[in-house]
């Protein structure tokens, strides 16, 4: 597989689990600026690898000033509850959930919403971890429907999904959501627009033990299906018509895939915590991930600074747990930002959310820090 790097135009990521392992971090204070040699080379703006459009390839404007004092919000929860997920919409409204720890992986919880200033706005319930911020408000699956929620937690639109199937929503860089349905061994994909209306669907999805999808900045959908000891991917156009033949991600990539958008279109693929591939938008083959990304297993990836760079977010097994590693769009390490808490997560517009307290249900919010 050919090695390429992450550069190009526009995309963001939304909700991801806040890992509760480890204690509350310390050592808050100013950002730790610096660079390291693990950046590598990068395709220039407008080149085939860049995905078109201009992007800052160096660290200009990537590092923030001292994060300053956060706004603190507390998720209402009962004894034995845990708070695994938090995210934000593009307007800075923060959503975070609580659910009983006894529910295991198949949990649903009550999501509460606050304004960027920390004012309680509302809530929605019986929803799992597939919540994605929109321009203002959120989308998620709930039972057999894809639901659009306002920033005050009101149901705006409900689009019915197939009965007697399992459903999971995935991130869309162009707004809305991509939903994968599993009905026995059969799989189906549907796209929903920013208003929550179904825009396209297909049942031309390979069968497998696990699957994940994403809509990239070019409006194409990438779906990766894991089966046995390998993963197979395929591109679909805006109408979910096949845009490539199926192609292998990596023969040894065994496990549930995780997809994260990259600047300009395409996606990075993570399996069992390891970054295993980079897939350029619409290209029916997988490349090796760039060295700086491959060197950070157990980190999540998010675009920041309006496509000017990336943040690497520590998850279980990563260290330290209370710092974000920041890179330019060209893969140059710009430095680290340290926070007085761990369990870090981010909203799509650059809001950083920490987790502390009983069950991780107290959240420190640095609104728009990396916008």
Q: What are the two backbone dihedrals, phi and then psi, of residue 126, each rounded to the nearest 5 degrees? A: 60, 45
pTM listed for this prediction: 0.87
Q: Express each pLDDT in 181-235 by its tens digit.
A: 999 889 999 999 999 999 999 999 999 989 999 999 999 999 999 988 889 999 9
CA distances from 251 to 64, 90, 244, 248, 332 (A): 40, 37, 19, 7, 29
**What is the block-wise mean pLDDT of the chain (371 residues), using blocks of 10 residues?**
44 40 32 39 32 65 95 97 97 98 95 98 98 98 98 98 94 98 92 98 93 97 91 97 94 81 97 95 97 98 97 96 97 97 95 97 98 96
Distance between CA atoms of 188 and 240, rounded to whole angstroms? 10
**CATH number attached to the domain at 16-366:** 2.130.10.10
Considering Cα of 292, then 298, then 303, then 304, what sign does the dihedral take?
Answer: negative
What is the structure's pLDDT at 50?
A: 34
Determine the Cα angle at 94 with ends 63 and 309, to 5°: 25
What is the structure's pLDDT at 55?
A: 58
Average pLDDT over all residues of the chain:
87
Q: Is 292 strand, coil or helix?
A: helix
- H/E stretch holding 255 reads none
């Amino acid at each position: 597989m050919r090695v390429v790097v992450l550069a190009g135009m526009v995309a963001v990521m939304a909700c991801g689990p806040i890992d509760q392992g480890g204690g509350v971090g310390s050592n808050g204070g100013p950002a730790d600026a610096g660079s390291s040699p693990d950046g590598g080379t990068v395709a220039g703006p407008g080149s085939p690898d860049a995905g078109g459009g201009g992007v800052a390839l160096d660290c200009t404007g990537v590092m923030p000033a001292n994060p300053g004092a956060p706004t603190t919000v507390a998720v209402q929860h009962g004894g034995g509850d845990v708070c695994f997920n938090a995210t934000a919409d593009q307007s800075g409204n923060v959503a975070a959930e609580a659910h009983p720890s006894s529910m295991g992986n198949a949990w649903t919880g009550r999501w509460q919403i606050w304004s960027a200033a920390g004012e309680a706005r509302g809530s929605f319930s019986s929803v799992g971890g597939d919540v994605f911020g929109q321009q203002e408000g959120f989308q998620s699956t709930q039972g057999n429907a894809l639901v659009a929620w306002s920033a005050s937690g009101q149901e705006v639109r409900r689009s019915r999904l197939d009965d007697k199937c399992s459903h999971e929503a995935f991130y869309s860089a162009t707004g809305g959501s991509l939903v994968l349905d599993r009905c026995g061994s059969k799989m189906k994909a549907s796209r929903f627009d920013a208003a929550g209306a179904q825009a396209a669907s297909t049942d031309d999805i390979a069968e497998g033990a696990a699957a994940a999808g994403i809509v990239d900045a070019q409006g194409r959908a990438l779906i990766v299906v894991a089966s046995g000891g390998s993963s197979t991917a395929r591109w679909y156009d805006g109408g979910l018509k096949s845009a490539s033949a199926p192609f292998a991600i990596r023969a040894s990539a065994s496990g549930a895939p995780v997809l994260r958008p990259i600047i300009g279109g395409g996606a990075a693929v993570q399996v069992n915590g390891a970054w295993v591939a980079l897939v350029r938008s619409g290209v029916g083959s997988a490349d090796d991930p760039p060295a700086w990304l491959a060197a950070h297993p157990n980190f999540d990836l998010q675009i920041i600074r309006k496509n000017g760079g990336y943040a690497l977010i520590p998850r279980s097994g990563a260290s330290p747990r209370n710092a974000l590693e920041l890179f330019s769009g060209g893969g140059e390490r710009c430095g680290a930002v340290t926070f007085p808490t761990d369990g870090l997560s981010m909203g799509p517009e650059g809001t950083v959310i920490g987790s502390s307290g009983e069950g991780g249900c107290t959240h420190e919010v640095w609104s728009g820090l990396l916008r």
